[in-house]
Amino acid sequence: MALMTYAQAAVLAVRKEMEADPRVVVLGEDVGRGGIFGQYLGLQGQFGAERVIDTPISEAAIMGAGVGMALAGLRPVVEMRVVDFALCGMDEIVNQAAKNRYMFGGQGRVPLVARMCNGIWDASAAQHSQSLEAWFAHLPGVVVVCPSTPQDNYSLLRASMACGDPVIYMEHKTLWGLSGEVDPEVKIPLVKAQTLRKGGDLTLVSWSRQVAICEQACRELAQVGIEVDLIDLRTIWPWDREAVLASCGRTGHLLVVHEAVQAAGFGAELAATAAEETGCRVRRLGAPRIPVGYAPMLEAQSRIDADAVVKAAKGLVENRNLEKVHA
Amino acid sequence: MEEKRETLLALYRTMVRIRAFEDAAEAASQGGVSAYGKAADGSAKVRGPLHLSTGQEAVAAGVCAHLEPTDYLTSTHRGHGHTLAKGADLARMMAELFGKATGFNGGKGGSMHIADFSVGMLGANGVVAAGMPIAVGAAHAQKLQRRPGLTACFFGDGAINRGPFLESLNWAKVFQLPVLFVCEDNRWSATTASGPMTAGEGASARAAGFDIPSFTVDGNDVLAVHEAAGELVGRIRDGRGPHLLHAVTYRLKGHVSVDPAGYRDPAELAEALKDDPISRARAVCAAIGGEGADLSVLDAIAREATEEVRAAVAAADAAPWPQTSAAFTDVQTTGEGQWR
């Protein structure tokens, strides 16, 4: 057990996998210097430039080379820097990595982890602040992971590197400095959600940075007598149906909160499934469908704060129509 | 002279096997896809878009003759020839075109996704230039793991106008990777002539910009392709980094098998037909003289290929369809323990 940041936890996870398996390599821009968030710090010094590979700014080639390396027997960790830049390698993710195993009839596997941090990066505006997990959840052939704590980042990154199929691994752009206890012996399987609070009135599902905001909202809701089952989904696809649906069956109410744009966000999938399977009442809460702005008051329009979560939760439980949060 | 004759006969055999395969696939595909104003009629055995390499056989044959089983190959949407020349089983490829369970991909891929990983053929690709980054990644793995072998990366003239071409050439040179880039220039990008769409002098000139040595060759002269590829492969095996072969050939058929290519000048096609690589190989063989002058040897090779393809078509026709449950396998296996 040690106190470390979300970034340090990631470094430790990659280090342990690289020590255990010579087939693991890292490739991407600036990884030799530790990555722009320190998420590879010290690894090139330990493992050399052949295994921690600095690359040109060539996202298509980085991602595509990762696929080729994987087919040729390596287990690459592919760094995309931020999810917004992964869009330059989208054919390589969608048409190549995700399709390879199926399309070629299982002749090969693509055991790579594509790291692309997600979410609003303070004051970084529209091209560096997107939350695109729903895009990848929609894509057969990939696993999608969004860790919210240093422990989760450590354990889920290791689980992702052991997965054997492509994993879209989405850390959060502003969680890198978050400190927490990490036990290197703790294993967290993919797909397993974590229930952070138990309560009978409402199921609240969230992930990534938004989880901490939901925890704050839960404390406020408890003060007015609304007890919440708070679930950190952790793996977006495949998601933990058992945990979420069991909770919805108990509480009869599901609120999904995410930083991504609400329209066609992954919350819609959870809400629809929960309503179909359990008959529960549902609400989604995500960002308005606007690009993220630069000025603080513009950027704030895309954020979901605890007040908004409290308001949505009350509206759902008290069976009121939700007021327009972003009106 | 005898050695040249033996080489030519081997290359000829590869070419006529490809030609026979393409001709049979073409025949089986008519009415198989809704395109160019024609509807699919449901009767075709080979369905969907079928991109034929008819007329381009010398490039596949001449290059792949130098490849070993430990070498990798990535291909394009027009990849039957490369796949056969790399040593893949002809009958299993035909079965895949028929969508049958006995095909390389169990019917999950079809023509555009032909692959035979067992001979190092890492896949055709439905997206132009998309095989290129995969090729440099495979070569990167070969280099890192100190394995023998190189990666042959086929792409078309249209691919040089896509970003992954430039990213891949740069990458291969920066990391000094064992890659043979092969631009199989059939002069058409779908239904548009490539020339007016391409600035500058093409693939070799662009390679020069990356300090990648290249060689431009008459892609319908199988011995010339063979010789040039042999030289470049030798250099790559000596550790001298990536090289590029620009082989100029011609697409004798339409973009897909049901495309009548009415947009082409008939005179251009007539001229190209005179330059057919198989006819040229026969002429060279005759010119060599001696036993090679006896074209009955070549005829026997061609007959054998036709017979092999006929049997493959019959086998593909008779083979079982995949189980519908196969639609749900090999998507992904979530969880630990798959690789450790």
Q: What's the rounded mean pLDDT across residues B89-118?
A: 98
Q: Which of B146, B155, B167 to mutate to test the interface with A (most CBs of A within 10 A)?
A: B167
- List, in sequence order, every residue forming a beta bridge with A221; answer none if it has no partner: none
Residue A223 near chain B (CB below 8 Å): no
* Test the B interface: residue of A80, A102, A186 with most B CBs within 10 Å: A102
Q: How confident is the model at residue A119 (pLDDT cuts 50, 70, 90)?
A: very high
Task: Look at A61 and B335 and tell me if their CB atoms are within 8 Å.
Answer: no
Number of domains in chain A: 2
Sign of torsion, CA A233 A127 A88 A6?
negative
Match 């949505």 to its residue by tokens.
A312
- Partner-chain contact B144 A51, CB within 8 Å: yes
Bridge-partner residues for B179, per DSSP? B151
Query: CA angle, corner B164, sides to B173 and B171, nearest 5?
Result: 20
In a domain, A34, yes or no: yes
Mean pLDDT over residues B101-129, rounded?
97
Query: What is the band of B336 on the pLDDT scale with cuts at 50, 70, 90?
Result: very low
pTM: 0.95
Instruction: Name the DSSP letter for residue A126.
Output: G
Share of chain A above pLDDT 90, in %: 97
Please answer whether residues A12 and A184 qualify as being in contact, where contact means their C-beta atoms are separated by less than 8 angstroms. yes
For residues A109 and A24, membership in a common domain is answered with yes
Residue A91 lies in a domain: yes
CA distance A23 to A39: 20
Is B338 within 8 Å of A143 when comparing Cβ atoms? no
Contact B50, B93 (CB under 8 A): no
User: β-strands A75-82, A113-117: how paired?
Assistant: parallel
| Nearest residue in A to B143, CA atom | A50
Do A121 and A59 sit in the same domain of this protein? yes
pLDDT classification of A321: cutoffs 50, 70, 90: low
Distances, alpha carbon B340 to alpha carbons A14, A66, B219, in Å: 15, 19, 46
Domain identity same for A26 and A162? yes
Determine the topology of domain B2-22+47-317 in CATH: Rossmann fold (3.40.50)
> Given an 8 Å threshold on Cβ–Cβ distance, is B136 in contact with A70?
no
Nearest-Cα residue of chain B relative to residue A140: B331
Q: How many angstroms away from the CA of B248 is the closest CA of chain A?
A: 26
Domain-ending residue, one of A182, A207, A231: A182
Tell me the average pLDDT across B319-339.
80
Cis peptide before B148 (omega within 30 of 0): no
For A:159-218, CB contacts with B below 8 A are 159, 162-166, 187, 189-191
- Residue A66 at interface with chain B, using a CB cutoff of 8 Å: yes
A59 and A172 together in one domain: yes
CA angle B78, B304, B318 (to 5 degrees): 70
> What is the distance in angstroms between the Cα of A161 and the nearest Cα belonging to chain B?
9
- The type of residue at B48 is G
Same domain for A104 and A202 = no
Q: State the count of interchain CB pairs (< 8 A) between A and B.
A: 172
* Mean pLDDT, residues A14-31 taken together: 98
The b-or-e profile of A4-34 (16+ CB within 10 A means b, else e) is bbbbbbbbbbbbbbbeeeebbbbbbbebbeb
A128 is catalytic: yes
* Domain at A27, CATH number: 3.40.50.970
* Separation of CA B18 from chain center: 9
Residue type, A126: A
For the four alpha carbons of B198, B201, B202 and B208, in that order, the dihedral sign comes to negative
Q: Are residues A130 and A229 located together in one domain of the fold?
A: no
Which pairing describes strands A235-237 and A228-232: parallel, antiparallel, or unpaired? Answer: unpaired
Residue in A with minimal Cα distance to B144: A50
DSSP secondary structure string for all residues of B199-229: -TT-HHHHHHHTT--EEEEETT-HHHHHHHH
Tokens of A120: 């609003």
Q: Are residues A105 and A225 in the same domain?
A: no
* In a shared domain, residues A202 and A109: no
The answer to whether residue A86 sits within a structural domain is: yes
Best residue in A18, A69, A95, A145 to probe B by mutation, most B CBs within 10 Å?
Answer: A69
Is A94 among the domain residues? yes
In whole angstroms, give the CA distance from residue B314 to residue B108.
20
Alpha carbon distance A240, A320 (integer Å): 28
Q: CB-hemisphere CA count at 13 Å for B92?
A: 20
Instruction: Give the DSSP H/E element, type plus range, for residue B296.
Output: helix B295-318
- pLDDT 10s digits, B236-272: 999 999 999 999 999 999 999 999 999 999 999 999 9
Residues 6+ apart with CB under 8 A from A171: A6, A10, A39, A115, A117, A118, A147, A153
Instruction: Name the strands in the sheet holding A228-232, side by side, starting at the edge strand that comes first in the sequence.
Output: A194-197, A228-232, A202-206, A253-261, A281-287
Asked if residue A34 and residue A59 are part of one domain, the reply reads yes
Which residues make beta-bridge pairs with A256?
Answer: A205, A284
Q: Would you say residue B322 has pLDDT above 60? A: yes
Alpha helices in A176-257 (DSSP H): 210-223, 241-251
Q: Give B266-315 pLDDT, tens digit per residue.
A: 999 999 999 999 999 999 998 887 665 678 999 999 999 999 999 999 99
Q: Does B155 touch chain A (CB under 8 A)?
A: no
N residues, chain A:
327
Residues 6+ apart with CB under 8 A from A20: none
pLDDT digits (tens, 9 = 90+) for B188-236: 999 999 999 999 999 999 999 999 999 999 999 999 999 999 999 999 9
- By the 10 Å C-beta count (0-12 exposed, 13-18 middle, 19+ buried), B191 is classed as middle
Neighbours of B210 (CB within 10 A): 17
CB contact under 8 A, B134 and A238: no
What integer pLDDT is reported at residue A327 of this predicted model? 41
> How far apart are the C-alpha atoms of B98 and B310, rounded to whole Å?
14
Angle between helices B277-288 and B57-64 (to 10 degrees): 60
B109 touches chain A (CB under 8 A): yes
Which residue in A has a C-alpha nearest to residue B101's C-alpha? A105
> CA of B330: which chain A residue's CA is closest?
A102
The pLDDT of residue A320: 59
Token match 């003239």: residue?
Answer: B157
Give the whole-angstrom CA distance, residue A178 versus residue B217: 59
Domain end, chosen from A182, A215, A237, is at A182
Q: Is residue A327 part of a domain?
A: no
Angle of the B2-29 helix axis to the B295-318 helix axis, nearest 10? 40
**pLDDT tens across A159-175, in order?**
999 999 999 999 999 99
- A75 and A221 together in one domain: no
Per residue in A189-239, pLDDT tens?
A: 999 999 999 999 999 999 999 999 999 999 999 999 999 999 999 999 999
Q: How far is A99 from chain B (nearest CA, A)?
A: 8
pLDDT at B61: 98
Q: What is the pLDDT of residue A325?
A: 46
Structural element, H or E, at residue A20: helix A6-20
* A109 vs B contacts (CB less than 8 Å): 338-339
Q: Taking CA atoms, what residue in A is nearest to B140?
A: A69
Question: Is residue A134 domain-shared with residue A276, that is, in the same domain?
Answer: no
Determine whether the interchain pair B72/A51 forms a contact, defined as Cβ–Cβ distance below 8 Å.
Answer: no
Among candidate residues A85, A81, A69, A72, the one with its CA nearest the CA of residue A31:
A81
Residue A19 touches chain B, beta carbons under 8 Å: no
- CB contacts of A186 in chain B (<8 Å) are none
Predicted confidence at residue A22, as pLDDT, reads 97
Given the residues A128, A172, A253, A258, the one annotated as active site = A128
Domain that holds residue A178: 2-182
Contact B56, B186 (CB under 8 A): yes
> In chain A, what's the furthest Cα-to-Cα distance?
60
Domain boundary residue, one of A127, A157, A182: A182
Q: How far is CA A307 from the centre of its chain?
A: 23
Distance CA B96, CA B115 (A): 10
Cα B88 from Cα B109, distance rounded (Å): 15
A128 and A226 assigned to the same domain: no
Please report, for the domain that includes residue A300, its CATH number.
Answer: 3.40.50.920
